[in-house]
Each structure stands twice: as C-alpha cells, then as structure tokens.
Chains A and B, each alone.
Chain A
Amino acid sequence: MKSYDVIDLAVRNLRESLFRNSLTTIGISVGVASLVAMLSLGIGLQQLASRRLQKSGLFDTVVATSRRDLGNFREQRENGPPRAESPALDEPARQKIEQLPGVIEADPDIRFVTEVRFDDQPHLTMVAGVPLSVKHNDAFEGMQGGFFSSEAAPEVILQKAFAEELLGKTPSRGADNTSIADLAKPLLGKEVTMRYAERSAPASPNGSSNNGANSGANSGANSGAYSVVPRQQVLKIVGVTDLDPESMRGAARARVFLPLKLAQDLHVMQSSDLRDNSFGAAPTYSSLSVRVANPNQVPAVEEAIKRMGFGAFSIVDATRSMSQFFAVLDVFLGIFGSLALAVASIGIVNTLVMAILERRREIGIMKAVGASDADVRGLFFAEAGAMGLAGGAGGVALGWTIGRLINFGTNIYLQRQHFPPAQIWFVPLWLVLGAIAFSIVVSLLSGLYPAARAARLDPVQALRYE
C-alpha cells in the first residue's frame, strides 16, 4: 500500500473512534507537555544563569597580570622564567594582547585610593577606571542616572554605600531598604572634587615637580624618572549604582568609578609605578582585563597570555562546573518529564490493542480482499505515529503554555520580592522538534506489539468475529 493510502486510512480509523483516540492523544500530550515544561524550565534556568554570569563579565574575562608583582613563590617555581626576567605589562604588551584572536579589548585595571571631596568634606575611597563596554554588564544594572557620556568625560558614578556616606547617612548592613533612587536624587548633577597624585614625566623643564629627590636621582632619557604632582579634578556625578563593593566584579572594591580613558589621562600614580621604577621609564600596568568574544575562547586566550610570559587568570572552570550541573539537572528534569510520557505510551498500547479487538473483523475483511501483513502492520503503525504526532504537537503547545504560566507566576513572586523580572523558561526550536520526534518514536514503539498482533491475525478467525 502506498504511504498516502496508509496515512489516509490511519487518519480515517482514528476519526472513527474519535473520543477514545482523543483521550489517548491527550494522554500523550500531557506526557510531552510535562517533558517540554520540565526541560524548558531547565534550559531557561541555565540560560538565566549563563546570561547573568556572562553579563557579570566574569566568564568572558581573562585577567592578565605582570609576573613581576609579588605573588606566591610556588607559581614562580612551576611556571616559566623567574619574575625578574618576565616582560613588563606595558602599553605595547597590552596592544599585543588585544591583537590575540578572540580578544575584543584589553583594558588596564586602573584603581587607586584617594580623597574625594563633597561639600568640602573629604572622603577616602578606592577609585577605579571602567571601560564604556561595562555599560552592558549587570554590574551597572538598576543604576540611577546615566552612564558616562563619553570615554574621557569628567564624570563619576558612585557606589550606593559611598553615596550614603556623602549624604551623611549611615551605610546599613544586611537588610538594606534604602532606595538608590532616593540617594541619587540629591546627588545627580552635583560635582565632587577628586584629589590625586599625578605621575608626571620630568621631560618638561617647567614641570611642576615638587619631588626633587626623585627627579634628581633619575634624570636622563631612559631613567624611568617621574615626578609625583598633587592634582585635583572636578567630576560631575552622573549615576549611582547599587553594585556590591565586596563582589567579584571587574572593578571590585571601588566605590567611585571614572571613565577608563579619563583615568588613564589623569596619570594617577599607581602602585606598579613604584615597583617598575628601576626597569624603565614607560609606565606599566598592574593588571589588564582582557575581554573575550566567546567564553569558549577563554582557555585559549588565557594560554596565549601565559605564553607571552604574563600571569593569566579566569574562572572558566567555574563555567564548566556550571554547565555540568545544568546538564545533570536537564537529565533529571527530562527523566521526570519522560515518566508521564511512559505512562502515556501504555495508553497507546491499550488503545491500539482495543482497536484490534474492535476492528478484528475489519482486519479480516482487509486480508480477505488482499491486504498483506505489512499493509495491516503499516496501518496500525501509522495510527500510532499519527497519535504520537498529534500528541507531540499538542504536548509542545501545552508544555509551552505551562512553562509560560510558571514563568508568569514566578515573575509575580519576584516582583513582590522587589526583584527584577527574569525569563526562567525557554523553549528552543530543537526542543519543539525533539519533543515531537520523541513522541512519535515512543508512539511507534508502543505500536510495535499491537501492529504485529494485528498483522498476524488469522483472516478466517477474524472474519468469524462479530
């Protein structure tokens, strides 16, 4: 029998016992729906976690450090040349790292402790330069105000605790009910004055060096000499963020953020300046944040930086553990989801066996007029497959709806708890197609026994059946 005839007859037979077949199909749908709902939640949670981590900048970032810094000696023994012989992490090195395949940008980590004055009150704090690209990190999610207007704008973003300090409020620990909107209102648009020590090259004879001993001792083109000049810079407050200063994010522990380019242009004295005094005139960086296009490329970039003689660190291993965790979670959710489908498959066997009993005479007639075993088997298979297809499609729709409802309910809960909404459910195309295919396969497997039984039916016995 031709395929379209098999399908045509199968659909006709299914329509004849519409109520029973619909119940069976609904059974399959519920099975597929539970599978889809479980997996879509698993995938959604995984994506939520990945997205959060990705946005945090931890998983696509390699921190490159100069091996000349003090570190642990074990590392020195095991890895590469002695510290003194390792290259300096200076501007040419930064550019070289930026040229590595997969690297988007390599930004120097500029941070320093200095005094910030507001309303003539001094406040000592850690200041960090941040590149414009962090605008898309969740580090600045929920920030009040705006991001820096340009990469060298004389603007600052304040951390919430520092904003509280400026306003004379006691920074609260634990349950923090102070709204950053309330903090931002009196601060946005105001100015702070940052006083800092500038590392100034002595090339200019009129250079305003007040550190005579230093410049005198190291005069000459390549002496690495510089002056330290006290300066101040007026900065406009453009934003207040609730970024936790204790978190592990890029510019950790800083409470005041400047545009990175501005921080570089100000030539604020860095701790590495003291260390590198004896090695050359050019300033070096204590560390670079190397942003990689794809987290998968992190190990390769990390390795390349290490080969250049620098220290490199990423938490890519944590990503791997996370992927493993979600893979296990998905398997468990999939198994739970499949249980319902396994129950539904028993329903298919039951329905088809019932259909054989009911249609025994019909099978006998078909055999008497020339149907082969394969024709009868194919017909029952097609019926099982059609139920699987309909059940699969219905199940995907139902699972999608269930997932959506769970997502909706969760978001209502999150909203009540003052958390931002989150997409904890996701149905990728592969899950849709996979669930339907799985449903068809399970249905066909369930149809194996009934189809074989129908095919082997003795036509004489079947024709006698009333």
Chain B
Amino acid sequence: MEGAGPNAPAVRTENVCRHFQMGEALVRAVDGISIDIHAGEFVALLGASGSGKSSLLNLVAGLDRPSAGTVIVQGHNLAALSREQLAKYRLHTVGMVFQSFNLIPSMTLLENVELPMRFAEVDRRERAALARHSLERVGLSGRLAHRPTELSGGEQQRASLARALINRPKLLLADEPTGNLDSRTGAEIMDLIRSFNQSLGMTVLMVTHELALAEKHAGRLVYLRDGKLVDDVRNQPVPNHDLSNQYLPNSDLPSTASPNSDRPKVSAVSSDPPGEKQ
C-alpha cells in the first residue's frame, strides 16, 4: 500500500503515460498526467475525442497498465499488481459504467447484476437478494427477468449502474455514461450517479464531453488535450434537485430534492476546452 495515510488521495496519478506503437508512429494517448482525486470527489474528465480521457480512465480502472508513471488507487500501486491482483482490484475497489452499457445480452438484468458477485464468490441466495435490492434502488424492480435487449437505453444504463455498485466499490468510474442516451434520460442517469456520490460518499471519476452535464453535477472539471492535462478547475455543482427521487425508494439513500430554479450560476468555464495554461 502506497500513500494510504488518512489524508492520502483516493486516486493519485504521477506523471502517468500510456503510449501505443501504431506502426511507425508512437501515439501518446496519455502523456505525463499527474492528478490527485480525494475521497468523495465527483470529477469530470473533459476533452475532445482522442484527448486521452478514456485511456486515463482505463488506467485508473486497472483495465490497462501505464507505459510510465504510477497510478495509485486507495493505496494500491496498480502498476505493481499482478494480473490476478488487478482482477481483484477491479472486483472490489472500482465499479465501472460504460457508454454502451456493456450488459451481457444473454443474461437477464438480475443475472447481469449478480455477475460480479459470482466472481466475488458471494453465496447464491445472498447475491440474488442483493442484486434484486440493487435493481430496486435504480427503479428496475419490475424488470428483473428482462434481457438487456428488451429495455430502453436509460434502463440498461441504470442496470449497468446497479451492477457497478453491487460490490460496494470505493470508486465509480463512468465512461461517457450518457453518450448513448437522450438528454432527459442522460440527466436521470447523472442524477443517480450524483446521488450515489453524495449519499454513499463514493468517489466518482466521469469521462464526458458534455460540459453542461459536467458543470451541473461534478465538483471538479479536468480538461485533457492530446493526452495532457490542460486545466483542472473547481466547480460548483447544482445542488438539491429532485430528479433522482423516483428511483431511490430506499431510506439509505438520502433525498437530494430541491427546486431546480435554485440552481446557482456554474463556473465560468466555457464548453470548449481551454487552452493549455502557460
């Protein structure tokens, strides 16, 4: 365990690089990014396509290994972990949500949500109850036996969220979670993610190219361009709105209800990524 002190960041990257050899050319997808994310933060990674957002997210998710530098999550230096340890890290420490939902089409929603618990060797009866409960939380109690193809995009993404959270991870990583959804459904998903961040104190690192959504929900906006970090600004997210209530019947998730009209002016960062700071 490295940097696991009480005030240590939940995620720390130190000069992390991810380079790919594409024929003759060397693609620097992530090129020396250093960033600290503290527990409970909601961080949005912004940038144009190919800026390295998803590559950085994959490094933090333990799906990929850095070419150089270090990624330390909850005290684990991911570069030093074996394949087996990395799988355990993905199982217990992080939960992932993808743009294309990535539910297994041959399984019902309940089975999809149960899947990580199978790998965690949770008892069969216990995991069925937990998966049901988790799907109820995201408002899918009536869809347990449905297959993903029978559901709308929003429902699939909610099921994906239920799956990501089933093993109670410390860190939720979301890669364009609203990219395949219409704006209303996207807003619902963001509300859910935000509610988990606020109610469970879960650290959220979200890749998005939708600045408006990021500004509405994230407490911090990190801009990338060509694999480099170009800006890192604090943001005042919109507090107390009530969109998520309909999906959160459980008392363990506190209500975030508040009139939308109370929304303060968001930080003055333009929707275009800012130029590299000198």
Contacts and interface: CB of A to CB of B under 8 A. Distances in A.
Interface of A: 1-2, 4-5, 9, 12-13, 16, 361-362, 364-375, 458-460, 463
Contacts of A364: 102
B28 interface: no
A1 B102 CA distance: 21
B119 A375 contact: yes
A463 B102 contact: yes
Interface of B: 58, 61, 63-64, 83-84, 87-88, 90-92, 96, 98, 102-104, 106-107, 115-116, 118-121, 124, 163-164, 167
A367 B88 contact: no
B63 A369 contact: no
B83 A373 contact: yes
Contact of B58 (A365, A372, A374, A460): A460
B104 A367 contact: no
A362 B104 contact: yes
Contacts of B103: 365
B266 to A, nearest CB: 32
Contacts of B107: 12
Nearest to B166: A369
21 contacts: A1-B118, A1-B119, A2-B121, A5-B118, A16-B106, A362-B106, A364-B102, A367-B63, A367-B87, A368-B90, A369-B119, A369-B163, A370-B87, A370-B116, A370-B119, A370-B167, A371-B87, A374-B84, A375-B87, A375-B119, A460-B63
Contacts of B167: 370
A463 B119 contact: no
Nearest to A362: B104
Contacts of B118: 1-2, 5, 9
Contacts of B90: 367-370
B81 to A, nearest CB: 12
A13 B96 CA distance: 23
A372 B119 contact: yes
B83 A372 contact: yes
Nearest to A12: B106
Given A1-B119, A13-B106, A368 B63 contact: yes
B20 to A, nearest CB: 11
B106 A369 contact: no
Given A368-B96, A372-B84, A374-B84, A1 B115 contact: no
B95 to A, nearest CB: 8
A416 to B, nearest CB: 56
A346 B258 CA distance: 64
